[in-house]
Structures are given as C-alpha cells and as structure tokens.
Amino acid sequence: MKLLDWVPLEKLEWRGLSRNPSPGAIELLEKNLDEVLWQVLSENPNAIHILEANPEKIVWPALSRNPSPGAIHLLEKNPDEIDWEFLSGNPSAIHLLEANPEKIVWSHLSMNPGAVHLFEANPEKFSWWLLSLNPSPGAIHLLEKNLDKVDWEELSQNPNAIHLLEANPEKIVWWCLSRNPNAIHLLEKNPDKISWFFLSANPAAIHLLEKNPEKICWAKLSQNPSIFEEDFQTLSKERVETLREELMERTWHPERFRSWCLEHDDEFAT
C-alpha cells in the first residue's frame, strides 16, 4: 500500500501512525521501529506480530484494550499483566470477564459491544454515560427506551445512533459528531459546525479532507487508515512476477519436462 498522492509523509506524526491500523501504516512502522510509540502501538490490532517480536516493549494496560485475537492470546499467557479496567471495554475479552466477574470495571464494560448480556443482568451497575457510546444493537435498544438518560456527547460519536441524532438534531454535539464515520451526510449539510481537528481522523471523511488541506490536523490525519491506498502499480509488478514464477514452475515440472523431452527426442537425435 502507499500514501495518497496528496498526503506528504513529512507532515505525518509517528504517534498517529503507531495507532493507524492500515497495512500501509504497519509497513512504515516495521521499517522505522525506532520511531514507534510502543504504548500506542500496543493498542493497534494489526501490529501484534511487531509486539510479539518485541515483548519487552509491550505496554500491558494498552494491550488490554487491544481487541485482536493475538492480543487476547498474549494476555491469557500473562494474566498478571492484565489491566482489568481497560479489559472490561474489550469486546474480544468477554470470556475472560465472564470468568472473572469480580474484576469487571462496570463503567468500562458499559461501552463494550460484546457485553450487553452482562449489564442487562446487572442494570444497577452500568453507566448510561458510556453505554451511550456502545454501538451494539442491544445497547441502542436500551438507549431508545431511555432517551432521558442518554449522554448526547457520547451518543454523537456512536456510529449506530444516527437515527436518534437525526430525530434530535438540537442535541447533537458537533465536535463529537465529526468523529462519527456514519455522520458524513450531516456534516456535509452543516460544514460550519465541523471540527476539523476530529474530522481529520475520520476514515469516512477523506474526500472532505482532500478538498480542505488547510484545515487538516496532520497529527490526527496520521491515524486515519484512509490515507493509504492500494499500490496497483506495485501489485501489478508483483502479480506479473508471481505469474512468471507459476508458469516457470509448471513448465519445468519434472513430469512436464520429461514428456517434453520424450516428445522431442527425435529432434535431439538428429
């Protein structure tokens, strides 16, 4: 993958790139390990192979947030390193939380999209504030039935709450909405309300950012996975080379070569 033509590498920041899950960012980080911010990288779900190769640099509270199966595997092997507050918000750690209910931090569990069944069974323990950020259908259903308890700042960031926001436009918190990848149509209708700082990290807003480069926060843009695209020229070259190797392998397969030799034995003899 490569950076978009209008995104100069020299304007990007390594902190944001360390957070960026794009394969393009991961490639850059692998080539510049001395620039990596390991605390941030420990949260990156696509950087597990880098962390496994550098276990002494893992920041375990940050890894406890990481939802990748590889991160969960590392945490299971190092239970004493788990930060249960951050793990409580990790959607891939439900089995660990169910096995250790006394360690659950319920406020953080409230934003966990995999934990609706847990806080439905313990309604007195969850936080409406962080539940408002929870994108799961179960959480949205609870919020729809309890609009008086909604935190509209958090809900404005919730990608699955657009219908609630459209029905209550006066309650939208626009700087939070600028982070919402499903709210681009609302932002395009209200450009004067956009927070360009937060929009710069919004992967669905890359077309708006390209049109307004002077408004970009480059630190935030650095963590936006949409700043990378497939490098089709390189892919084409790689594909041609792969096809060439496959053709050579098939052409010079021992059986094919033997048949070819037998077919042309008379020609060699003459």
Q: Which residue has the tokens 């021992």?
A: 254
Q: Is residue 247 part of a domain?
A: yes
pLDDT for residue 270: 44
The number of domains in the chain is: 1
pLDDT for residue 251: 46
Q: Is residue 259 part of a domain?
A: yes
84-92 long-range Cβ contacts below 8 angstroms, 24+ apart:
86/61, 86/62, 88/112, 88/115, 89/65, 90/64, 90/65, 90/66, 91/67, 91/115, 92/67, 92/68
DSSP secondary structure of the chain:
-EE-TT--GGG--HHHHHH--SHHHHHHHHH-GGG--HHHHTT-TT-HHHHHH-GGG--HHHHTT--SHHHHHHHHH-GGG--HHHHTT-TT-HHHHHH-GGG--HHHHTT-TT-HHHHHS-TTTS-HHHHTT--SHHHHHHHHHTGGG--HHHHTT-TT-HHHHHH-GGG--HHHHTT-TT-HHHHHH-GGG--HHHHTT-GGGHHHHHH-GGG--HHHHTT-GGGEE--HHHHHHHHHHHHHHHHHHHHT-HHHHHHHHHHTHHHHH-
pLDDT for residue 232: 72
pLDDT for residue 259: 47
pLDDT for residue 269: 46
Q: Is residue 54 part of a domain?
A: no
pLDDT for residue 238: 60
Q: Is residue 251 part of a domain?
A: yes
Q: Is residue 40 part of a domain?
A: no
pLDDT tens-digit series, residues 191-242: 999 999 999 999 999 999 999 999 999 999 999 999 999 987 765 566 666 6
pLDDT for residue 115: 95
User: Can you give the residue range of the structural domain that contains 242?
Assistant: 236-270
Q: pTM value? A: 0.85
pLDDT for residue 235: 58
Q: Is residue 213 part of a domain?
A: no
pLDDT for residue 244: 61
pLDDT for residue 248: 55
Stretches where the chain sits below pLDDT 70 are 234-244, 246-270
Contact in structure between 202 and 180 (CB atoms under 8 Å): yes
pLDDT for residue 231: 86
pLDDT tens-digit series, residues 55-68: 999 999 999 999 99
pLDDT for residue 53: 98
